Amino acid sequence: MNTVTFTIIAIFTLTFALAAATNPRLMHAALSFAVMFVGIAAFFFLLGAEFVGLVQIFVYVGAVAVLIVFTILLTRRDPEKTRGFNWGGVVIAIAVFVGLVWAILKSTSVSIAPPVIKALTVKQIGMALMGSYVWPLLCVGVLLTAALIGALILVLEDKRQ
Amino acid sequence: MTLSIFLIVSAALFCIGLLAALSRRHAIFILIGIEMMLAAANINFIAFWRFAPQPAQPTGVMVAIFSIAIAAAEAAIGLAMVIAVYRHFRTTNVDQLDQLKG
């Protein structure tokens, strides 16, 4: 973990996050959102969690970003102006940021250097998922099935009318 | 390279997500803001896992994986709701969805 890589990734991620949050053009903002998740995955690689980084890229850049682009295309004929911007949100966000940074800098227990740990292998993750995390895994499976059925029911056309 | 610098970047990402969720009026961008906040939480999980002494179980990684799965389910449901709302009201501007306003 060196500081130069960290700084580059941090600037990259935060720039694209800001672009996604403030760009008035919907499609450009959605694409910035996808690129931002590559930056977040780079953070995970830097921290030694390669599996989570790859899952993040597959799930967000591969699936969620495509879903968002599809939704933008399906709701494009929006006759009203949807580009309004509420400046109250900026004030609240900056206030929350200042509060969080104050809390982080104030606490002494988080200014620690990374310990040397053994690399986490995918085999270990698989053993943990099938071992002590098998019930959460099954619950997530049920949740994803319910979400899939719920999303289908929500977007089905009502044929009775 | 200390833990606090990761926490500060994650706090910045969280606040950008909060900014998007509070100040955009397009429903899809409120969802994008929520996804950013969840991603900031994931960075925190992984950073705390990496900076802790090596435990027997990779707990932080597991929590991050489950959090990603739940965030994906949330995004799918949220976008389906945006499409359903658009069908009914012909708009995705959340300021105009005020049917329940007293």
Any idea what the CATH number is for the domain that residue B92 is in? Answer: 1.10.287.3510
**Could you tell me the residue range of the domain that residue B92 belongs to?**
3-96
pLDDT of residue A80: 46
Distance (Å, rounded) from C-alpha A132 to C-alpha A128?
Answer: 6
Distance (Å, rounded) from C-alpha A138 to C-alpha A83?
Answer: 41
Smallest Cα distance from B102 to chain A, Å: 22
Q: Assess if residue A89 is contained within a domain.
A: no
pLDDT above 90 (res A75): no
Long-range contacts of B28-32 (CB under 8 A, 24+ apart): B28/A26, B28/A30, B28/A68, B28/A71, B28/A72, B28/A75, B28/B79, B28/B82, B28/B92, B29/A21, B29/A26, B29/A29, B30/B94, B31/A68, B31/B75, B31/B78, B31/B79, B31/B82, B32/A20, B32/A21, B32/A29, B32/A30, B32/A33, B32/A68
pLDDT above 80 (res A157): no
Distance (Å, rounded) from C-alpha A56 to C-alpha A54?
Answer: 5
**Could you tell me the residue range of the domain that residue A141 belongs to?**
120-161
Q: Assess if residue A149 is contained within a domain.
A: yes
Q: A156 in contact with B at a CB cutoff of 8 Å?
A: no
Q: Assess if residue B14 is contained within a domain.
A: yes
**pLDDT, tens digit (0-9, with 9 covering 90-100), for A132-143:** 899 999 999 999
Q: What is the mean pLDDT of residues A19-41?
A: 89
Kindly determine whether residue A60 and residue B35, on different chains, have CB atoms separated by under 8 Å: yes
Reduce the DSSP state of residue B97 to 3 states and report it: coil
Contacts of A120 in chain B (CB under 8 A): 58, 61
Distances (CA, A) of B6 to A40, A76, B49, B51: 11, 38, 12, 10
Distance (Å, rounded) from C-alpha A70 to C-alpha A66?
Answer: 6
- Burial (CB count <10 Å: 0-12, 13-18, 19+), residue A3: exposed
Between A31 and A84, the higher pLDDT residue: A31
pLDDT above 50 (res A112): yes
Distance (Å, rounded) from C-alpha B82 to C-alpha B92?
Answer: 7
Contacts of B73 in chain A (CB under 8 A): 143-144, 147
pLDDT above 60 (res A81): no
Tokens encoding B5: 């610098």
Disruptive mutation site among B31, B38, B79 for chain A (greatest number of A CBs within 10 Å):
B79
Distance (Å, rounded) from C-alpha B43 to C-alpha A13?
Answer: 12
How many domains does chain B fold into? 1
**Based on the domain organization, do A135 and A73 belong to the same domain?**
no
Q: Per residue in A94-115, is it b (16+ CB within 10 Å) or e — as a string?
A: eebbeebbeebeeeeebeeebe
Q: Are A57 and A38 in contact (CB under 8 A)?
A: yes
Q: Assess if residue A60 is contained within a domain.
A: yes
pLDDT of residue A26: 83
Q: B47 in contact with A at a CB cutoff of 8 Å?
A: yes
Q: B89 in contact with A at a CB cutoff of 8 Å?
A: no
Instruction: Report the residue of chain A nearest B80, measured CA to CA.
Output: A151
Q: Assess if residue A106 is contained within a domain.
A: no
Return the half-sphere exposure (C-beta side, CA atoms, 13 A cut-off) of residue A118.
Answer: 9
pLDDT of residue A121: 85
Residues 6 or more apart whose CB falls under 8 angstroms from that of A135 comprise none
Give ipTM to 2 decimals: 0.88
**pLDDT, tens digit (0-9, with 9 covering 90-100), for A100-111:** 999 999 888 887
Q: What is the mean pLDDT of residues A92-104?
A: 93
pLDDT of residue A154: 86
Give percent above pLDDT 90 in chain B: 48
How many domains does chain A fold into? 2
**pLDDT, tens digit (0-9, with 9 covering 90-100), for B54-97:** 776 788 899 999 999 999 999 999 999 998 888 888 887 877 77
Q: Assess if residue A12 is contained within a domain.
A: yes
Smallest Cα distance from B100 to chain A, Å: 20
pLDDT above 60 (res A84): no
